[in-house]
Amino acid sequence: MRVPLIVDVDTGIDDSLALLYLLSSPEAEILSIASTAGNVPVNQVAANNLAWLDLCGAGDIEVTLGAQAPLVAPLMTTEDTHGPQGIGYAELPVSRRPLSARDAATAWVEIVRGRPGEVTGLVTGPLTNLANAIRIDPELPRLLKRLVLMGGAFEHPGNTTPTSEWNIAVDPEAASEVFAAFSVVPQDRLPIVCPLDITETIEMYPDHIARLAERAGSIPRELIAERDSSATRSTASNPLVRHFSDAVRFYMEFHRDHDQGFLAHMHDPFAAAVALNPDIATYRLATVDVELNGTLTRGTTVADRRGMWGRPHNAAIATTTDPAAFFDDLIERVGALAARL
Ligand code: BDR
Ligand code: CA
């Protein structure tokens, strides 16, 4: 069964792998890729999206540009985490593919309206584009088949402030509007929320890259070592392996420098896998809202699991998964795509 998708990203190293995962998955029918300002400014996000499509030899897939900034807050970006261009140390050839003539919010509305009840929306960046789309067409939550998003932190520390997660913290107003808008959908179509609680269990290690390279038939053996100088660049024969390895080396160094070990949390690829197959996780239903005013807690996601607010559920929060099985699947798919290039 094919899964028609709108993918809304702030590419980003882990967004990049989410795209590679989807491009390598025969069941993913990518209808459009929306670019959101987040990890890096939106024009750079769009350039990264187009460049990855080139590198994967993808057919004509629409890439749209979203808003330059969040709904209310000034834009913050995080080149510290994702590198000067959002793709770590990778330097992808500049794509000649054109950007779509329509903007991201318009594409969301037109595509979902054109296939009511069929489209899954996957958001792995701030929710600005989707909030703008819902402002244009408030029926959107009812017309989507399902929304899957990476965002939030519940019983887990934040990664942007002590209690907030990046995608929500960049545009808290957008996230709040989206969660409110989805309180009208039936229980079996509640948005799937993949928070840090689960995505920080998706730890990519150098050995995963070595296995991916081997599956791709890339030579020599791909070894990212913690002791390497950060000027080290991949010499992999396979271009996808080479570029992704350079991207992820930066991400592993970032995690190491923040006392998380020489690894990289692959938040967004996990959300992409959930969008194709929600059965890889277990869920807990809740009513989720976003703190917009706290002096210390702005951008924090709050989950009401006991009905204390008297408001309907608006989220199925992913709680457990099998990370090893996730990586086996990802390595097989992305490695096979790389082998075909
Ligand atoms: C999220 O923030 C971004 O930096 C990542 O791409 C991911 O979507 C994790 O908090
Ligand atoms: Ca992201």
Looking at residue 13, which CATH number applies to its domain? 3.90.245.10
Of 208, 243, 265, 267, catalytic? 267
Question: Residue 81 CA: which ligand 1 atom is closest?
Answer: 4
Q: Is 12 in the pocket of ligand 1 (CB under 6 A)?
A: yes
Task: Give the mean model confidence (pLDDT) for residues 158-180.
Answer: 98
- What whole-number distance in Å separates Cα of residue 325 and Cα of residue 334? 14
- What whole-number distance in Å separates Cα of residue 111 and Cα of residue 57? 24
* Close Cβ partners of 67 (under 8 Å, ≥ 6 residues apart): 36, 37, 42, 103, 104, 105, 128, 129, 132
Q: Is 11 in the pocket of ligand 1 (CB under 6 A)?
A: no
Q: What is the pLDDT of residue 11?
A: 98
| Inter-residue contact 315 to 287 (CB < 8 Å) | yes
Report if residue 229 sits inside a domain. no
Report if residue 72 sits inside a domain. yes
Q: What is the pLDDT of residue 230?
A: 92
Report if residue 134 sits inside a domain. yes
- What whole-number distance in Å separates Cα of residue 220 and Cα of residue 209? 12
| Inter-residue contact 18 to 7 (CB < 8 Å) | yes
Per-residue pLDDT of 233-252, as tens digits, reads 999 999 999 999 999 999 99
Q: Is 54 left (phi over 0), alpha (psi -120 to 50) or beta?
A: alpha
| Inter-residue contact 301 to 154 (CB < 8 Å) | yes
H or E, element range at 281: strand 281-290
Instruction: Name which residue sits closest to atom 2 of ligand 1, judged by CA.
Output: 166
Domain count, the chain: 1
Per-residue pLDDT of 250-279, as tens digits, reads 999 999 999 999 999 999 999 999 999 999
Report if residue 238 sits inside a domain. no
| Inter-residue contact 66 to 98 (CB < 8 Å) | no
Report if residue 222 sits inside a domain. no
Ligand nearest to the CA of 81: 1
- What whole-number distance in Å separates Cα of residue 123 and Cα of residue 28? 15
Per-residue pLDDT of 100-158, as tens digits, reads 999 999 999 999 999 999 999 999 999 999 999 999 999 999 999 999 999 999 999 99
Q: Is 81 in the pocket of ligand 1 (CB under 6 A)?
A: yes
Is 267 an annotated catalytic residue? yes
Report if residue 240 sits inside a domain. no
Domain containing 106: what range?
A: 3-202+263-340
Confidence of residue 31 (pLDDT cuts 50, 70, 90): very high
Among 52, 148, 156, 159, residue to substitute to test ligand 1 (most atoms within 8 Å of Cβ): 159
Q: What is the pLDDT of residue 37?
A: 98
Task: Give the mean model confidence (pLDDT) for residues 64-68.
Answer: 97
CA of 40 to the centre of ligand 2 (A): 10
Q: How many C-beta neighbours within 10 Å does residue 298 have?
A: 17
Report if residue 331 sits inside a domain. yes
Confidence of residue 7 (pLDDT cuts 50, 70, 90): very high
| Inter-residue contact 201 to 153 (CB < 8 Å) | no
Q: What is the pLDDT of residue 258?
A: 97
Per-residue pLDDT of 286-341, as tens digits, reads 999 999 999 999 999 999 999 999 999 999 999 999 999 999 999 999 999 999 99
Among 85, 267, 300, residue to substitute to test ligand 1 (most atoms within 8 Å of Cβ): 267
Confidence of residue 79 (pLDDT cuts 50, 70, 90): very high
H or E, element range at 208: helix 206-216
CA of 75 to the centre of ligand 1 (A): 15
Q: Is 15 in the pocket of ligand 1 (CB under 6 A)?
A: yes
- E strand spans, 87-170: 120-123, 146-150
Question: Residue 10 CA: which ligand 1 atom is closest?
Answer: 6
Q: What is the pLDDT of residue 309?
A: 98
Among 251, 268, 301, residue to substitute to test ligand 1 (most atoms within 8 Å of Cβ): 268
Question: Residue 78 CA: which ligand 1 atom is closest?
Answer: 4
